[in-house]
Chain A
């Protein structure tokens, strides 16, 4: 069986005055119908990797890859029409910053309907679908949120509205960039449950970008650890606590614990070697 997504030697660079700097430096992985996590520190290139897969590298940045296949289709030179058919239908991206990605002067409902009308026959059906999706992501009062503007929502509600929008077209591949960072754990688990079902029942592929190691180790199947644009370690999620790389080990020690622990918290002593 061919994997859902194959990525080989993905590089993303931005021009600077000292030539181009690569922020993603040769990332390779393949994804089946499974839950793959990408973890790593802020600025390590997680989001840029996700965007590059969808051809959404912001100009003047450039993405290149030796191979970038989605179900056998080469994405590297997909035409704008092919992208239109893929993006938001077969591959969805939940962006990192919901408040930034939602249009501040349009109601949540209108933004959801844009996605829903593509999959539904009638407007009423589309609206039902949109409301059902909001309910599925644990929004208590879907009708109100449907009519609200983004600034009238709490941080976590905006994030869930964004997830609902991306799940409406029932994509085959979902790239979720820190989808649960603003959610409390109980809601977080509900959202993960939805994602989990999509993966196990519908065979969706999931790339889950996160900085929450505890969550990742319990939710995902495999983990890529990124540092300075490179994958420094790849392991089974259940083995994350036994990671080899000093960076991954360090990340675990930085977490505060409910049971209490040392204070000040240990911090990560970065080593220039890691960025090689």
Chain B
């Protein structure tokens, strides 16, 4: 087995099996990504976020929900016991941020898992078939795009009721239209290509062509876009939390934590600042990774 996974095996010019070809291709992408410093910084940040989320229980010194003694431990500035201080309910902010990473990660991954395929499918179907299908799908997309995302998400949450699950659904519903637009634009440039005509002539069904031939070509630019949008999604989730429509207290959601800290922003700056920094760093991480992925997937724009 070790022999199989050697560098030579991975980079063979003439792979001997389907698996070797596929793994080799992935390894090549990884090699290209590895030389991109920004992407690696972004990836490291995201890996740390994932580790934080997994090991929150081990890493957190205090309970994130149950505060300490309200008389003595409220609004303590950062110290060795409370690395990031405590909030107005005497809860350790560091522990809350650690646990909060779980919510952030859940929001980000669920939105990506829901919005990306929806956007891809709507866009590629509209672009591939054209005609009235295109018109209908794109008008729907336009309606969604006509409102700022946060406003639309607000409307959905207001209709569905506050709560983190509904916030995720609302964000997912409101974030697919740009991906649909992008996928459609890409599809338009490839749908008249000879290789699509060639597979039509093999007798392939439209579903097979869209899924097996069009989607893979749109995927990389959509992935880049989704990664770059992650920062915005985190901010939208935080914004909903801030407005009290996302995660409900006492859940340690970063946006809600900022909202909770805003009454004390002058005297006890750390309460709002610490989750703010967390949001900032993670957003930056996704942005770096997105930029790096774009360089790797689309060398044309690299300068």
A interface vs B, CB < 8 Å?
Answer: 17, 58-60, 104-105, 151
Contacts and interface: CB of A to CB of B under 8 A. Distances in A.
Contact of A59 (B11, B188, B189, B302): B302
Contacts of B185: 105
12 contacts: A17-B11, A58-B299, A59-B299, A59-B302, A60-B299, A104-B188, A104-B189, A104-B192, A105-B185, A105-B188, A105-B189, A151-B192
Contacts of B299: 58-60
Interface string B169-190: 0000000000000000100110
* Among all A-B residue pairs, the 10 with the closest Cβ atoms: A151-B192, A104-B189, A105-B188, A17-B11, A105-B189, A59-B302, A59-B299, A104-B192, A104-B188, A105-B185
Interface of B: 11, 185, 188-189, 192, 299, 302
Contacts of A17: 11
A60 B36 CA distance: 13
Contacts of A104: 188-189, 192
B12 to A, nearest CB: 11
Nearest to B190: A104
A207 to B, nearest CB: 25
Contacts of A105: 185, 188-189
Contacts of A58: 299
Q: Is the interface of B mostly helix, strand, loop or mixed?
A: helix
Contacts of B11: 17
A101 B72 CA distance: 72
Contacts of B192: 104, 151
A261 B59 CA distance: 82
Contacts of A151: 192
A17 B188 CA distance: 35
Given A59-B299, A59-B302, 10 more contacts: A17-B11, A58-B299, A60-B299, A104-B188, A104-B189, A104-B192, A105-B185, A105-B188, A105-B189, A151-B192
A104 B299 CA distance: 19
Nearest to B302: A59
B184 to A, nearest CB: 11
A227 to B, nearest CB: 22
A59 B188 CA distance: 26
Nearest to A17: B11
A210 to B, nearest CB: 23
A59 B11 CA distance: 21
A211 to B, nearest CB: 21
A60 B185 CA distance: 27
B300 to A, nearest CB: 8
A158 to B, nearest CB: 12
A105 B185 CA distance: 9
Nearest to A58: B299
Nearest to B185: A105
A151 B130 CA distance: 15
A59 B296 CA distance: 12
A60 B296 CA distance: 12
Nearest to A152: B192
A104 B11 CA distance: 34
A58 B302 CA distance: 10
A105 B192 CA distance: 11
Nearest to A103: B189
A105 B186 CA distance: 10
A151 B192 CA distance: 7
Nearest to A151: B192
A151 B299 CA distance: 25
A2 B264 CA distance: 78
Contacts of B302: 59
A151 B302 CA distance: 28
A62 to B, nearest CB: 14
A59 to B, nearest CB: 6
Contacts of A60: 299
B228 to A, nearest CB: 22
A60 B300 CA distance: 10
Contacts of A59: 299, 302
Nearest to B194: A99
A8 B288 CA distance: 42
A116 to B, nearest CB: 24
A156 to B, nearest CB: 15
A198 B282 CA distance: 60
Nearest to B303: A59
Nearest to B7: A17
B121 to A, nearest CB: 21
A104 B188 CA distance: 8
Contacts of B188: 104-105
Nearest to B11: A17
A115 B164 CA distance: 54
A162 B185 CA distance: 23
A1 B260 CA distance: 80
A181 to B, nearest CB: 16
Contacts of B189: 104-105
A41 B189 CA distance: 30
